[in-house]
């Protein structure tokens, strides 16, 4: 299928007219407990709203707004995910923009759309709506019977980016991308779940003809054979903690949970049971890779709990969880990780050493790296992570874990991944222990990105490799399963090497191949043209400083418009006998719409 926009262009105003949006219904007893009167629900609703609205204004919900479709009376709820250089990305329900969203993978043109709230500066304009393919049956008829329209009821809207930054929290929301919470899974009723939505208000099952932003809380749990769905049960009457249901206007809103103290989106609101027994939507963890394919800048819980080569992990303040004393951080016994195992109290500044086993993504070789762990003290310096040092009443004790190349002098250049576990332990409250995972994503290499509009150019490789004997820097395509060389091509006055890369077609959930151009660029202003990868000097005999990689649409004539994601590794060698090595990892984020 060719995703040419003119072939699938449908204005939002037309698409939503055929759909049924869903807003918060409040249990009768909870309505009364919040100040409402069952005999006069409309006139007393302002009392309930006054009690619930402050919760909806907490910082974690600042990215939640009302999705409007000018020219219609329809509304949904949506969450701003972040911006790239040109666009803003918004998550909502697929049925808000297309009633037939399950019939095919979609990339649809949007008519006028707005996203706004008291805390969110207004996003508006025309853009694209991306909708995932329905989940394929995994075990025949049983999986088909287990399927629900909610499983793929998700859309990412790409809108023109505002020139001014949106008035939201410093960071976009976190999306769930981790395995099930075993603690929450052990509770059949589910874990505490919060929701903010817009739309028609109900008491029990009765509409009271009002609408607006409301907050609610209820247990929620993963459901479905593949745990691809999220369900929140509802009891319209009686004393219960299952006191809210979706109604019209809540579609596309986010279900939120806290895990290890970090609030994140676990699902998107899709539908309410016709008998008012509960609500459901697709789990974020089941679709998060698709979301990251559409918007690579989307942040996940795993991203928050990560150490990168140039970006340390800084924890939340676990000292806020204890009533007395503070917390220290230990490395519990585990395969693949060692570090401080017992608390100390020296009062000195410094850092602890964590040793962790990681795997090279390209070669699959496992190596051990060293990390630094430090604990905030409030004394003007940082102590070792296991050191119980606190000054005065300031008990803050955030943990920082960082990677430093100088601590790992023998580490080969590469892209390394791994995971260790850290445990926060109360210094006076011995019962407080919270263990959480820490992902290691150590890009110990030169990195860049190729898009459809912009190629990537490395820095001066000779300067990076520092060859002492004046030898040239040689560049080649590294041996890898998803990219291969396809010879050199001379076009006009310049030459380049063809690289055939396997990329993921986000819309069709399949692999495709794209052709890239790789070439050595001459230094400074020169009459010399670019050369293929194998070249080491330009037409005037001067050493070639770097390498460029680019996507040219004309080299890919059969490629349909779409979103293509992948990665290519190049390898540069210099110095005596090519002993010095630099690996170059280039992400492919190619959008041909």
Token output for 321? 């969880």
Lookup result for tokens 């100088």: 406
The reported pLDDT for the residue numbered 183 is 63
Residue 66: DSSP 8-state: E
Nearest to 244 by CA among 204, 207, 273, 208: 204
Residue 50, classed as helix, strand or coil, is helix
The reported pLDDT for the residue numbered 267 is 97
Task: Report the distance separating Cα 513 and Cα 499, nearest Å.
Answer: 10
Could you tell me which residues come within 8 angstroms of residue 157 by beta carbon, excluding any fewer than 6 positions away? 78, 89, 90, 91, 92, 97, 110, 113, 127, 128, 129, 130
Task: Report the distance separating Cα 523 and Cα 497, nearest Å.
Answer: 19
Task: Report the distance separating Cα 507 and Cα 565, nearest Å.
Answer: 11
Residue-wise pLDDT for 535-586, tens only, equals: 998 888 888 989 999 999 999 999 999 999 999 999 999 877 777 889 999 9
Which residues, given as ranges, of the chain have pLDDT below 50? 1-22, 141-144, 163-165, 167
The reported pLDDT for the residue numbered 123 is 63
Residue 239, class by beta-carbon neighbours within 10 Å (0-12 exposed, 13-18 middle, 19+ buried)? exposed
Q: Delineate the domains of the chain, giving CATH numbers in brackets.
A: 8-282 (no CATH), 306-443 (2.60.40.2520), 446-591 (2.60.40)
Task: Specify whether the CB–CB gap between 178 and 419 falls below 8 A.
Answer: no
Token output for 555? 């080299």
Give the global pTM.
Answer: 0.90
Nearest to 227 by CA among 192, 170, 179, 273: 179
| Radius of gyration of the chain, Cα coordinates, nearest whole angstrom | 27
How does DSSP assign 260-329, residue by residue?
TTEEEEEEE--EE-TTSSEEEEEBHHHHHHHHHHH-TT--BHHHHTEEESSS-EE---GGGG-SSS-EEE
Residue-wise pLDDT for 475-534, tens only, equals: 999 999 999 999 999 866 779 999 999 999 999 999 999 999 999 988 776 788 899 999
User: Pairing relation of β-strands 229-233 and 278-282?
Assistant: antiparallel
Nearest to 587 by CA among 313, 159, 174, 297: 297
Lookup result for tokens 């698409």: 15
The reported pLDDT for the residue numbered 502 is 98
Query: Around Cβ 435, how many Cβ atoms within 10 Å?
Result: 13
Distance of CA 508 to the CA centre of its chain: 20
Query: Around Cβ 170, how many Cβ atoms within 10 Å?
Result: 6
Task: Report the distance separating Cα 139 and Cα 297, nearest Å.
Answer: 33
């Amino acid at each position: 299928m060719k995703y040419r926009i003119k072939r699938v262009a449908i204005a939002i105003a037309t698409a939503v007219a055929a759909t049924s949006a869903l807003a918060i219904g409040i249990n009768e007893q909870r309505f009364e407990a919040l100040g409402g009167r069952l005999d006069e629900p409309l006139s007393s609703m302002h009392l309930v709203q006054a009690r619930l609205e402050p919760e909806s204004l907490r910082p974690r919900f600042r990215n939640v707004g009302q999705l409007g479709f000018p020219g219609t009376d329809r509304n949904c709820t949506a969450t701003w995910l972040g911006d790239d250089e040109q666009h803003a990305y918004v998550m909502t329900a697929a049925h808000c923009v297309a009633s037939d969203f399950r019939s095919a993978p979609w990339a649809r043109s949007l008519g006028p759309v707005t996203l706004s709230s008291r805390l969110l500066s207004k996003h508006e304009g025309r853009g694209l709506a991306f909708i995932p393919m329905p989940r394929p049956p995994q075990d025949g008829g049983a999986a088909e019977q287990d399927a629900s329209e909610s499983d793929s009821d998700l859309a990412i809207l790409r809108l023109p980016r505002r020139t001014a930054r949106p008035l939201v929290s410093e960071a976009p929301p976190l999306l769930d991308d981790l395995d099930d919470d075993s603690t929450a899974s052990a509770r059949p009723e589910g874990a505490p779940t919060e929701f903010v939505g817009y739309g028609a208000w109900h008491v029990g099952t009765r509409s009271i003809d009002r609408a607006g932003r409301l907050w609610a809380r209820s247990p929620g749990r993963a459901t479905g054979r593949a745990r691809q769905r999220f369900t929140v049960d509802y009891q319209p009457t009686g004393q219960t903690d299952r006191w809210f249901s979706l109604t019209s206007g809540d579609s596309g809103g986010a279900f939120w949970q806290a895990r290890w103290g970090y609030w994140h989106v676990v699902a998107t609101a899709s539908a309410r049971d016709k008998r008012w027994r509960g609500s459901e939507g697709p789990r974020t963890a089941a679709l998060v890779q698709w979301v990251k394919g559409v918007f690579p800048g989307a942040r996940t819980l795993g991203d928050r709990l990560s150490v990168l080569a140039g970006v340390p992990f800084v924890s939340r303040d676990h000292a806020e969880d204890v009533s007395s004393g503070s917390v220290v951080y230990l490395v519990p016994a585990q395969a693949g990780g060692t570090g401080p195992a017992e608390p100390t109290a020296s009062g000195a500044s410094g850092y602890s050493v964590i040793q962790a086993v990681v795997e090279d993504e390209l070669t699959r070789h496992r190596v051990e790296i060293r990390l630094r762990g430090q604990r905030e003290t409030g004394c003007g310096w940082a102590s070792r992570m296991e050191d119980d040092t606190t000054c005065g009443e300031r008990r803050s004790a955030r943990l920082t874990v960082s990677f430093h190349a100088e601590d790992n002098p023998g580490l080969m250049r590469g892209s390394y991944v791994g995971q260790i576990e850290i445990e926060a332990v109360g210094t006076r409250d011995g019962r407080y222990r919270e263990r959480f995972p820490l992902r290691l994503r150590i890009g110990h290499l030169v990195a860049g990105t190729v898009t459809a509009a912009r190629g990537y150019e490395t820095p001066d490789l000779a300067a990076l490799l520092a060859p002492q004997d004046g030898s040239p820097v040689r560049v080649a395509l590294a041996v890898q399963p998803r990219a291969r060389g396809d010879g050199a091509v001379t076009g006009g006055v310049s030459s380049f090497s063809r690289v055939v890369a396997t990329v993921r077609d986000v819309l069709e959930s399949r692999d495709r191949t794209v052709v890239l151009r790789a070439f050595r660029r001459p230094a400074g202003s020169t009459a010399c043209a670019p050369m293929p990868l194998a070249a080491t000097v330009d037409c005037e005999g001067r050493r070639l400083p770097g390498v460029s990689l680019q996507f040219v649409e004309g080299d890919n004539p059969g490629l349909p418009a779409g979103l293509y994601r992948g990665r290519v590794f190049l390898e540069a060698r210099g110095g005596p006998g090519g002993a010095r090595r630099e690996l170059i990892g280039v992400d492919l984020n190619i959008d041909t719409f």
